[in-house]
Amino acid sequence: MRYQYNLSEQDFLIHTLYSVSKNPSLKKQTKRVKLFFTILFVIFLFVIYSQNDLFTFIIAALTFLFLYSFYVFYLYKYFLKNNYEKWNKQNLGIRFNKEAVLDFKDDFIETSGMDIKLEIKYDAIEEFNEIPDYYYFKLKTNERLIIPKREIHNKESFLEMVENIQTHYNFTITKELDWKW
């Protein structure tokens, strides 16, 4: 099977955000930052409470809860998204809106675009991911092939082909249809 498509800036951004969301070291770093802020504010609240000013303590506690919730649920992801958007423009911008070709052969995937042609053996595939708008082949080198679902006209035959490859080369298939950034 052969697929030709263009990858937009948004395609690369979603790919980067998905990869980041699966990165264990970033998850660990996020937990450390949240723990640091929590400890810092608990100390701050303890100092206020020890001064016997209940009104200021309640105001400070409510303010902390609001700011912490805003940071955890919105601001942190906003900053990460903007950071990776800038990084993608700087480092991957040359690849935006350029034609990419994936050709599934008997023993390998031939990928080409921008005057580059690569052959990726099926046993180099570590995982196949499906999220709401994309398919990804994660390679053992930790890179991913991006396949927008909008470019796959017969999804059933594509997924059947992936399952056939998976039975021969034994990689993981992961479906995260509820994933969102």
**Domain boundaries along the sequence of the chain:** 2-8+96-175, 10-94
Cα 128 from Cα 95, distance rounded (Å): 22
Task: Return the percentage of the chain with pLDDT > 90, whole number.
Answer: 73
pLDDT of residue 121: 97
pLDDT of residue 24: 92
Cα 170 from Cα 75, distance rounded (Å): 40
pLDDT of residue 179: 96
Distances (CA, A) of 152 to 46, 126, 155, 158: 57, 22, 6, 7
Q: Which residues are CB-contacts of 73 (< 8 A; sequence separation ≥ 6)?
A: none
Over the stretch 10-67, which tens digit does the pLDDT of each residue have? 999 999 999 999 999 988 988 898 899 889 989 988 888 888 888 888 998 999 899 8
Q: Is it the case that residue 115 has pLDDT exceeding 90? A: no
Amino acid, res. 162: V
Closest CA to 10 of 136, 148, 176: 148
Task: Return the percentage of the chain with pLDDT > 70, whole number.
Answer: 100
pLDDT of residue 72: 81
pLDDT of residue 119: 96
Rounded to an integer, the average pLDDT of 83-101 is 94
Q: Which residue has 């423009």 as its token pair?
A: 89
Over the chain, what is the mean pLDDT?
Answer: 93
Rounded to an integer, the average pLDDT of 120-144 is 96
Cα 106 from Cα 111, distance rounded (Å): 14
pLDDT of residue 48: 87
CATH 3.40.50.720: does it fit domain 2-8+96-175?
no
Q: Is it the case that residue 91 has pLDDT exceeding 90? A: yes
Distances (CA, A) of 119 to 78, 110, 124: 37, 5, 10
pLDDT of residue 32: 92
Over the stretch 145-156, which tens digit does the pLDDT of each residue have? 999 999 999 999
Compute the half-sphere exposure of residue 42: CA atoms within 13 Å on the CB side of its CA.
6
- The answer to whether the beta carbons of residues 104 and 161 sit under 8 Å apart is yes
Cα 54 from Cα 49, distance rounded (Å): 7
Cα 90 from Cα 87, distance rounded (Å): 5
